[in-house]
Structure 1
Amino acid sequence: MSSLATLCLISATALICSSCDQRNRIEKSNSRQILIVSNSAEPAGLDPQTVSGVPENNIMRALFEGLCLEHPEHDGQSLPGAAASWSSNADATVWTFQLQPDGHWSDGVPLTTDDFLFAYHRSLHPEFAGKSASMLYFIQGAEAFNKGEEKRFSQVGVKALDSHTLEITTHSPTPFLPELTKHFAWFPVPKHVILAHGDMTTPYSRWTDPGNLVSNGPFQLSEWKFNYYIEVRKNPHYWDRQQVSLKGIRFLPITNTYTEARMFYDQQLHATYGLAPEMIDYSAQHHPKALHQEPYLGTAFIRCNMDTPALADLRVRRALACAIDQQAIIDNIAKGKQQPAHGFTPDFGSYQSPKVIRFDPQKARQLLADAGFPNGKGFPKLNLLTADRDLAKRLSEAYQDMWKKHLGIQVGIQQQEWKTYLVSRRKRNYDLCVSSWVGDYPDPSTFLNIWTQASSDNHTGWHHPEFESLLARAARDTNTENRNRTLAQAETILLEQAPILPVYHLTTNYLLHPSVQGWHPLILNNHPYKFLKLTNH
């Protein structure tokens, strides 16, 4: 048979086989063990030390692994990650972690304590300015080194006792340190790869490009097609590779919640990032097994830029807060069983947030009048910054309408795509900013520490000496009841000073295909991918 005839026969056979395969994308992906998830936005990057958002976190957790790992079913429980075991002294200020003896990077190079030292040194280096460097401030001396007050990294409380024994000393009792190490700010980074593409303090180098990026988690980067998808594949050098059932994960940057819902209904997605409020009732009726509505340790709120002249007046900020009808926002916009945020920190565990923020339009009008703007007369026009997401835009329009109705003021809306929005927020190129905060770990301090002057997540220009003094006192207190009382006093100051305007406490509303097994409700929504598997449902 001629080569041309052979090629024609092969092509015809392939076409026939293809036409016989009537499976949808989910069925095909299940057979290949490839999880397909919506991830809301194109990530700002894949370097754990230069990112700060949830879309980035979702990918980081597939590629990298901290000392401890989330339990797939139980909040607040820690499993071995890059560390096989750990222990602390009596007051939880000195922690010792034993690394996995079979820990390796995805290129086969052993993972050692030197990689952790390098990661923490790099993130805290004043010339590097890691986005989440303040997450490491629990370490003794970390803040002073990051601010340039201490020049020697050797004075920071982290040391390698040997190649597989890491000792971390905190500045105060930190019983939740294992929880902290699950955050990507605490992940190791590959020293040998980063230095091959630049210096320690070189941000945004080519080390995170496909073919260059090396990771220590259950997956490794396979493809990154900008604004199309990011795909990761099973890491053959991962220490617990026998536990990993998935062959890969594909993350899609779908910004439109209606689009991701339609893709899910059309069997093109295993999981949506969220769910448009209008689609909740429809999903409950037509896809009840797929609809998930769960508590989420987070709060939707608005940041105030303290450099905006009108917002420098406390009465104006409090007027804006009192003019927001939180329940109406929940009932008509969010629609996901959220709760009004009368404080910033959600109630969880033994902590009860102070109940300071209330919808009170009469009080709002009086406060604005006291500030010299009766019925909004003479009030300067402000702009409200928001990201290019459907819910964020509708929330912005609702705030805009409420402030006009109850205060008589005009607020414009400035919508930006995700990465541009993050830059504008960080540089404080805004007057008001639609925001949300999800706890980095299950403790009230994750909601309060971000409003300190040193925090890299503050982005308001607000700080308060008494607020920070109370946080410092709480950090030293080993009595839970006393500590919670002190934290509540600090939060009361935050709420009364109103650099932020809490709106509602978050829930997660999303669609999950029944073929995904091993996925359980978690308050931080950080589902460890290594325990997931796909079945032919």
Structure 2
Amino acid sequence: MKKLSVWVLALCAAVLCFSACGKKSASGAEFIISNGAEPQSIDPTQIEGVPEHRIFLALFEGLVDYDVKTCEAVPGVAESWERSADNTVVTFHLRKTTWSDGTPITAKTFVDSWLYYMSPKTAAVYGYMPALVIKGAKEYNEGKAPESSVGIRAVDDYTFEVTLVGPVPYAVDMMAHYAFAPLPMHAIEKYGSEWIKKENFVGNGPFVLESWVPQDKLTVVPNGKYWNKENIFLSRITFLPIEDSVTSYNKYKNGEIDWNSSSAHIPPDLIDEVVLRDDYQCAPYLGSYYAFFNVNNKTLKDVRVRKALILALDTKELVEKVTKGGELATGAFVPEMAGYTPPKGFSFNPEEAKKLLAEAGYPNGKGFPVLTYIFNTNEKHKKTAEWVQQQWKKNLGINVELQNMEWNSFLTKRQANDFEIARAGWIGDYKDPSNFLELLTTGSGNNDGRYNSPEFDKLVSDAARMPAGPERMKVLEKAESIAIGRDAAVIPMYIYVSQCLIDLNKWDGWYSNVLDIHSYTGLKPKK
């Protein structure tokens, strides 16, 4: 996997170092992270965001983990694995390890966990992800087939076998994601939804939950049962849910934070100052910033309206005058990556936008209803929303209201399809175009706009059954051209770059990578 194309490598002409303060203790160092938002949950079945993923990496570990530099799969609970000759069966060999309460983790743990995660009763947002690649899992996830139809089995206590829908070249890499995490079923069965409380919590990652004070902080401490505990050098990690980017930046400058993560964001008004810092980390990022249309809305059902709204936005102006962080304006949804060239999508064309809006029955914007654009609390999102509002007023003559929402409320509203237009962002979970396109498939837990195209769905499904190579990429390119070109399913705005602050002269074991995923194993103060 690995290798974004040359344009991505040119996105950041920024210095590579980090700034932070290590708080020394007898057992190691405390590491404080500005995590951007109050987490939805720490239950892997109930999360979907980057702030939650960052916490997940401390508390849980799947069959495989992410390599700290390449983001490709490395051994986790599984010591090794191999594929069958036709690449459709993956056999994992598990190490002998336990949950934090000493309960053994076996192949049956993974069978039970994955079935629970994919069960329609659980309704996990990411339940569609394993269902798309595991044989028989889609029908089970949709409530149309029994557990026995799913292609997973415990060969013995420490051998776990997965039968895929086809060669699925990215299958093992994607299994580092929390959609494939082991779950402490014994704790879930005993405590129900209360299992994530401190007194009931059980995990298998490098850390365990120490405390969680909503809207204040969440702390974790080393897991004494973790198989690789010899490489855990931090005595505590503190996650701060700071939504205001200026507050987060000031705390970082004052030495109160060690890692001002990408979720905390760099204040747009201060970007010119920040990029001059030696501890500013700007790197290529496999992520797309966009907005959902609610295609069930009576106005937005008309593809001419959706296309007009997209064509009226000069995204080049957005990245050059508003965000100003090295982002790349785009008309595509999927970032360019090795072997994949996304379709160009729509380019700024206000005259064509006016023409389409008139054809839809709204000449010069007359009679167009006032729609609401929702976004979660963050200065960068606010400025982007205000820019969108101004562009549509200037170029189409229409009025749009803005609604700023707290993170959890925002996600709940979006997931319920209770919106008209909503800010969104997608960061790759693994390095393959399918990871972006799958979220627009019918029934996907992340398809908040409810886009629905059988032709698109079939192409994405067909690609999962194809071996790696140019032909597979062509199928995915065709799928994207349908969703983003013909159907105008979302509003693409720009390709992200990761921007954060941490002092690499003080911390060892932290590396920039295209998924902005960072392991806490091996992270330690420099001597």
Query: Is TM-score (shorter-chain normalized) higher than 0.5?
Result: yes
SS at match of 2:23: helix
| Cα deviation, residue 30, structure 1 | 7.1
Partners of 1:270 and 1:516 within 8 A in 2: no
Aligned mates of 1:243, 1:29 — CA distance in 2: 17
**Whole-angstrom distance in 1 between the partners of 2:121 and 2:67:** 36
Alignment match, 1:275: 266
- Residues 90, 163 of structure 2: 8 Å contact kept: yes
Match of 2:16 in 1: none
Would the aligned equivalents of 2:22 and 2:258 in 1 still touch at CA under 8 Å? no
Corresponding residue SS for 1:69: strand
For the pair shown, the structure with the greater C-alpha radius of gyration is 1
TM superposition shift of 1:436: 0.6
Whole-Å Cα distance in 2 between the matches of residues 28 and 462 of structure 1? 48
Q: Distance in 2 between matches of 1:89 and 1:195?
A: 35
Residue in 1 that maps onto 2:80:
85
In structure 2, the residue matched to 1:10 is: none
Moved beyond 6 Å, runs of 4+ = none
Give, in angstroms, the shift of residue 280 of structure 1: 2.4
User: Following TM superposition, by how much is the alpha carbon of 1:479 offset from its aligned partner in structure 2, in angstroms?
Assistant: 4.7
The residue that corresponds to 1:238 in the other structure is: 226
| Structure 1 segment 342-357 matched on structure 2, within 5 A | 342-357=331-346
Structure 2 match to 1:250: 238
Query: Residue 492 of structure 1 aligns with which residue?
Result: 481
8 A contact 1:30–1:535 mirrored in 2 = no
More deviation, 465-474/372-381: 465-474
Which of 484, 498, 504 aligns to 1:508? It is: 498
**Is the contact between residue 35 and residue 534 of structure 1 (CA under 8 Å) also seen in structure 2?**
no
The number of residues matched between the two structures is: 502
**1:470 is the counterpart of 2:466:** no
**Compared CA separation, residues 69 and 250, structure 1 to 2 (3 A):** same
1:473 Cα offset (Å): 2.3
**CA shift digits 1:190-222 (9 cap, x unpaired):** 111111113xxxxxx110001211110111111
Question: How many angstroms apart in 1 are the aligned matches of 2:141 and 2:375?
Answer: 30
Q: Which runs of 5+ in 2 are unaligned?
A: 1-18
Aligned to 1:296: 285
CA separation in 2, counterparts of 1:299 and 1:73? 21
Q: Given residue 109 of structure 1, which amino acid in structure 2 is its aligned partner?
A: T
The answer on 1:452 being equivalent to 2:441 is yes
The question of 1:535 aligning with 2:526 is answered yes
Residue aligned with 1:161, SS:
strand
Looking at structure 2, the residues matched to 479 and 532 of structure 1 have their Cα atoms a distance apart, in angstroms, of: 34
* Residue in structure 1 matched with residue 509 of structure 2 by the alignment: 518
Name the structure 1 match of 2:142. Answer: 147
Give the AA of the match of 2:95: Q
CA contact (8 A) 1:33 1:533 kept: yes
Aligned to 2:41: 45
Q: Distance in 1 between matches of 2:463 and 2:368?
A: 40
2:103 alignment partner, SS class:
coil
Aligned residue identity for 1:91: D
Residues 1:364 and 2:359 aligned together: no
Give the alignment's TM-score, normalised by structure 1: 0.91
The alignment status of 1:127 with 2:121, answered yes or no, reads: yes
Determine if the alignment matches structure 1 residue 113 to structure 2 residue 107: yes
- Asked if the contact 2:283–2:512 (Cα under 8 Å) also holds between the matched residues in 1, the reply is yes
- The Cα offsets for residues 48-99 of structure 1, whole Å up to 9 and x where unpaired, read as 0111111110000110001111111224x32110111111112321000111
Q: Which residue of 2 is the match for residue 74 of structure 1?
A: 70
- Provide TM-score, normalisation by structure 2: 0.93
CA shift for structure 1 position 472: 2.3
Distance 2:36 2:297 in 1: 30
| Cα distance, 1:155 vs structure 2 | 1.2
Structure 2 residue aligned with 1:187, among 163, 181, 202? 181
Cα displacement string for residues 269-319 of structure 1 (whole angstroms, at most 9, x for unaligned residues): 11112211222221233x22x101111111000100011111011110000
Contact between 2:373 and 2:403, CA under 8 Å: does it hold in 1? yes
112-121 vs 38-47, which moves further:
112-121
- Aligned residue in 1 for 2:167: 173
Q: Measure how far apart 1:320 and its partner are.
A: 0.4
Percent identical pairs in the alignment equals: 35
AA in 1 matched with 2:223: N
Partners of 2:25 and 2:235 within 8 A in 1: no
Are the structure 2 counterparts of residues 84 and 27 from structure 1 closer, same or farther at C-alpha, using a change threshold of 3 Å?
Answer: closer
Amino acid across the alignment from 1:189 = L
Q: Which has the higher contact order (CA 8 A, sep 6+)?
A: 2
1:95 aligns with 2:90: yes
Q: How far apart, in 1, do the equivalents of 2:73 and 2:373 lie?
A: 40
For 1:21, the equivalent position in structure 2 comes to none
Q: 1 or 2, which has the higher helix percentage?
A: 1
Report the CA distance between 1:36 and its aligned residue: 0.5
CA offsets, 1:393-431, max 9 Å, x none?
111111000000000001101111000000000001100
Q: Aligned partner of 2:82: which letter?
A: S
SS in 2 for 1:347: coil
1:195-251: per-residue Cα shift (whole Å, max 9, x none)? 1113xxxxxx11000121111011111111111111111111001111111122110
CA contact (8 A) 2:373 2:401 kept: yes
| Pair 1:419 & 2:421 matched | no
State how far apart, in whole Å, the 2-side matches of 1:276 and 1:516 are: 24
Aligned mates of 1:133, 1:334 — CA distance in 2: 33
CA shift for structure 1 position 186: 0.6
